[in-house]
Amino acid sequence: MLKTTHLLIALPLLVISIFLESCTPSTTSNETVEVVEIPDIYTKNCATCHGADLKGNISQSLLDGSWQFGSGKNDIMRSIKFGYPHHGMPAWGGVLSDDEIDSLVSYILSEEERLGVSKPPIPDTLETQDYSIKVDVVAEGLDVPWAIDFIGHNKALITERSGRLRIMENGVLLPDSVVGIPEVRAFGQGGLLDVAIDPNYEREPWIYLSFSHGHGKVMEKGEEQIPAMTSIVRGKLIDNTWSNQEILFEAPHETYKTAGQHFGSRIVFDPEGFLYFSIGDRGTSDDAQDITKPNGKIHRIYKDGRIPKSNPFYNRPGAIKSIYSYGHRNPQGLAVHPETGQVWETEHGPLGGDELNLIRSGLNYGWPVISYGINYNGDIITELTRKEGMEQPIAFWKPSIATCGLDFYSGDLFSKWNNKLLVGSLKMEELQLLDIEKDRMMYRQTILKNAGRVRDVTTGPDGAIYIVLNNPGSILKLTPQPAM
């Protein structure tokens, strides 16, 4: 049902396993035995697969600290209610009520706590189809890090969602953050988001930031709220100070939303010198279909903020002229193919339906009219998965993995992976490698699992793969193991 490597077949086994092991008496007569009452709901529905002691039977243990489909209480409840049939986990929503599922999950988590079950440590090595990999933790103690990019071989910039821009130099995270970066509206999923270095940094030393920008105040549900929208700026780093800032994109303030979700946002550059950035639907899904609104879109501008006249809606009255494509839910992955220059995107679906898209000018990617997902509460968003005039994803994930962070590998250390796509996952805590041929995904493999929520991934100038983990707030560096 829920674990990392093996598929769960039935929920009943989970509950029975925990209860039976807990209730097994000791053979030593003078030993005090703690008897834990096993809920009937577990015994009847879960124990056959997950064992009476929760340590596994047909399916994997529930007490090894590793969860395949998310470790949060809501993740586990959704796993039980809706199931993952393709992974061998049936849906129990038609058998158990929400209250019963809630009590079952509370019991499982309480057993984890009682037995001191903890998350496995980050591994030192990984084995993949092509490489044995060394894993190094190069930075720790970050506050919800969101993105990383490099200035040369020895310096990297890291954003923290709370609003700090950090410097890692010669493999050491400096204690002081950059002074003078723009004020961000850090709430919900918003804050300081992406950082990108100008591809011609030696001649044009610009650094680009995306962040949630707040403006004004409104009354909502009896409380004063600050509306916000994703904004793009650039500036220069002089000593440890943010200088020469220029605002490249700031949406009309009347389009700002008080919702705390779906800001996007990534920044990439194509070979022609265009800058692309993403904005999520900001929790207002219908806006994704409205080209007079900035949210739910991929935008294209020049690096100095000018808008190309070749943009598809440049001459459309009332349209946001920077829009390049629309119908997106929450794009938190953007990458440019190193050979073709094509822009690729990953976006969060709801419950199911994360997408990998090849972004083309003026096209409609369908949200919320078409989707391969349903609402988090099980409600149907749309009956349609296809519609004329709307693009199909190159691939989609069902169940959702919460795609985040995207990069085409390009380097010497992992030469077999050149032009393959690295995809981060928040919910499943994975790093996946996708083989892309033209506009098709040929196969995918999981490189890293259960180290933490993968927020960003990038190829460093040294050819190593750098991974940003939200929890714990750390940066991993992957390099090939030397041949023995």
Of the residues 87, 213, 215, 262, which is catalytic?
262
C-alpha span between 429 and 426 (Å, rounded)? 5
Per the listing, tokens 């129990």 go with: 92
Q: Are 7 and 87 a contacting pair, CB within 8 Å?
A: yes
**291: nearest Cα among 266, 259, 327:** 327
What separation in angstroms does the CA of 386 have from each of 73, 304, 359, 440? 33, 38, 17, 18
Q: Are 31 and 99 a contacting pair, CB within 8 Å?
A: no
**405: nearest Cα among 351, 448, 453, 455:** 455
Cis amide bond preceding 182, omega within 30 = no
**Cβ neighbours, 10 Å, residue 302:** 13
CA angle 472, 176, 243 (to 5 degrees): 115
Catalytic residue list contains 262? yes
**Cβ neighbours, 10 Å, residue 136:** 13
C-alpha span between 312 and 300 (Å, rounded)? 10
C-alpha span between 280 and 198 (Å, rounded)? 23
C-alpha span between 478 and 127 (Å, rounded)? 12
* Catalytic (active-site) positions: 262
